[in-house]
Amino acid sequence: MFPDIVLGLYVTLSLFSFSWLIGFPISLLFAVMVFLHPSTRLYVKVFSVFFAITPLLAVLFWLHYPAQTLLGIVVNPYQTSVFVLTLFVIANATDILVVTMIDVNQRYIDAIKVLGISWQYYLKKALLPVTIFTSIPRLLNLAVTTIHATMFTSLIGVEELFRIIQRLNSQYLKPVELFSIMALGYIVMCLPLYGMAVYIKQRYKIGDEQA
Amino acid sequence: MNKLEAIDISLGFGKRILLQNANLIIESGERVALIGPSGCGKTTLLRVLCGLYPALDGKIKLNEKTIEANTANIGFMRASTIWPDITLVFQDYQLFPTMTAIENCCFGLEKMGTYKRAKEYARALEVDHCLDRRPQKLSKGEQQRISIIRALVRNPSFLLLDEPTAALDKDSRKMLHKLLISETEKRNMATLFVTHDLVFARDVGTRAFIIDDLTIRKSNIKSV
């Protein structure tokens, strides 16, 4: 029973890590693109609104079954899950970064102008670092949501915690213990991220009101 | 001899007119106090002088360079290329939270000796103990002094300050008073500061301008 749970935890963490390692740099690029070319904001907004109003499970099922049938390809469930979670991260993180970048720019642009600093230097040395720094609490909350979202991926066949728990439950018939362990697993993963978000908000006096 | 002039300048937002055909001249070595009631356009005038806002009408002249204030390109070109000699210290400091105080002071300056000079100014304003701290860990008074140092290390010919003593206690005000006087004398820099602190204005200023009735009038610094 125990190795199965560790395996589920490993799958959850790998889904989370891949989606962020791929998704976050792309979000940052999108945010810079939107900032430099405001006309592209509409496309990014449509993309993030799509993910805001469409249940992740629906996207996951659609890409795993009908999309693959239509395209005549077979992609394993793990890769489909990484793809969908990456899109989820890109949609939400880009939205957070764009809003924060516009806000940060409004606050500091005057200082940059009167200090005689070039646009490129400002973007690289001040705007991006301050934007990421100010976005940290909201990005950590998104990270927690991403971990929760990995649970859905079990429904398309990934050997993930939730499905393993169901299988183990049918073998051992100890639902309370098993589901408690599963819940504890998610708490152990999410609590440090949530705690870090709260800590950073308080320590550096940043948060949603600035973003 | 450097000279900054606002000629027949009109300022306002929408239908609200703040200044109409007002004139102002500041020359090297002067310390000029700009005084007036809240909302009369003091901060707006500072921002127009350093190219952050357009004026409704009039000209800004820096030595031989003239700009039609209402048609000028308000942006990076004007603020950082055409007017490299003017620096403004903001009322809300605008320090970057990702940098330490010393990094904020020297931001964008790769010149040798900038750090050394920033440290000297920090010693003069007694904030040398907090140069390695980020702005969030500084008091308002310390942040204000750091933002003044950030402007001074840029060697401006014209230093504009918006309420430079708003967050300072009596001792810090005295230190700033000494530093501004020594810097204007040593480097022949001109200082224009907006203040409600009339004692500071009298102690530091060599001249005063009062914004009143949509215009700027000269006043004897001792009588403000």
- Confidence (pLDDT) at A173: 67
A10 CB near a chain B CB, below 8 Å?
A: no
Q: Which of A207-211, B89-93, B203-207, B214-218 has the lowest mean pLDDT?
A: A207-211
Task: Please judge whether B136 and A204 are an interchain contact, meaning their C-beta atoms are less than 8 angstroms apart.
Answer: yes
- The CATH code that applies to domain B1-85+156-224 is 3.40.50.300
Q: What is the mean pLDDT of residues B91-104?
A: 93
CA gap A114, A117 in Å, rounded:
8
Spatial distance between the Cα atoms of B114 and B117, rounded to a whole number of angstroms:
5
Neighbours of A159 (CB within 10 A): 16
Output the tens digit of pLDDT for each of chain A's 211 residues: 567 777 778 888 999 999 999 999 999 999 999 999 989 999 988 888 888 788 888 888 888 878 888 888 988 888 999 999 999 999 999 999 999 999 999 889 888 888 888 888 899 999 999 999 999 999 999 999 999 888 777 666 655 555 666 676 677 667 667 667 766 777 787 788 778 877 877 777 665 444 3
Quick check: B97 and A116 CB within 8 A? no
Q: What is residue B101's predicted lDDT score, i.e. its pLDDT?
A: 96
pLDDT at B76: 47
Give A-chain residues touching B79 at CB under 8 angstroms: 113-114, 116
- Spans of all domains in chain B: 1-85+156-224, 88-152
Region B142-164: mean pLDDT is: 93
Mean pLDDT of chain B, nearest integer: 88
Q: What is the pLDDT of residues B41-93, one digit of tens each?
A: 999 999 888 888 888 888 888 887 777 666 544 544 445 555 568 899 999 99
How many domains are contained in chain A? Answer: 1
A115–B contact, CB cutoff 8 A: yes
Q: What is the DSSP letter of A110?
A: H
**Which of B76, B93, B133 to mutate to test binding with chain A, by most A CBs within 10 Å of its CB?**
B76
CA distance A99 to B214: 38
pLDDT at B105 over 70: yes
Q: Which pLDDT value is given to residue B182?
A: 92
- What amino acid is encoded at B79 in this protein? A
This complex has an ipTM of 0.83
- Residue A11: what pLDDT? 86
- Work out whether strand B86-89 and strand B158-162 pair parallel, antiparallel, or are unpaired: parallel
In angstroms, what is the C-alpha Rg of chain B? Answer: 17
Residue A137: domain span = 2-210
- A115/B97 touch (CB, cutoff 8 Å), yes or no: no
Output the CA angle B89-B92-B96, nearest 5 degrees.
85
Would you state the structure tokens that stand for residue B15, as one six-digit string?
């239908």
Say whether A204 and B94 touch across the interface (CB within 8 A).
no
B interface residues, A as partner, C-beta within 8 Å:
47, 50-52, 75-76, 79-81, 84, 86-88, 90, 94, 96-99, 107-108, 134, 136, 150-151, 154
Q: B222 CA to chain A: closest CA distance, Å?
A: 31
What value does the mean pLDDT take over residues B158-184?
A: 92
Yes or no, beta carbons of A108 and B96 under 8 Å apart? yes
Distance from CA of A108 to the nearest CA of B (A): 6
Q: What is the CATH number of the domain that holds A11?
A: 1.10.3720.10
Give A206's contacts in chain B (Cβ within 8 Å): 97
Separation of alpha carbons A48 and A84, rounded Å: 13
Contact B33, B177 (CB under 8 A): no
| Of A120 and B210, more confident | B210
**Terminal CA-to-CA distance of chain B, rounded, Å?**
27
Contacts of B50 in chain A (CB under 8 A): 113-114
Which pTM value belongs to this model?
A: 0.79
Q: Give B45: exposed, middle or buried? Use CB within 10 Å, 0-12, 13-18, 19+.
A: buried
pLDDT at B71: 54
Binary contact (B108, A116; C-beta < 8 A):
yes
% of chain B surpassing 70 pLDDT? 92
Of B67 and B102, which is predicted with more confidence?
A: B102
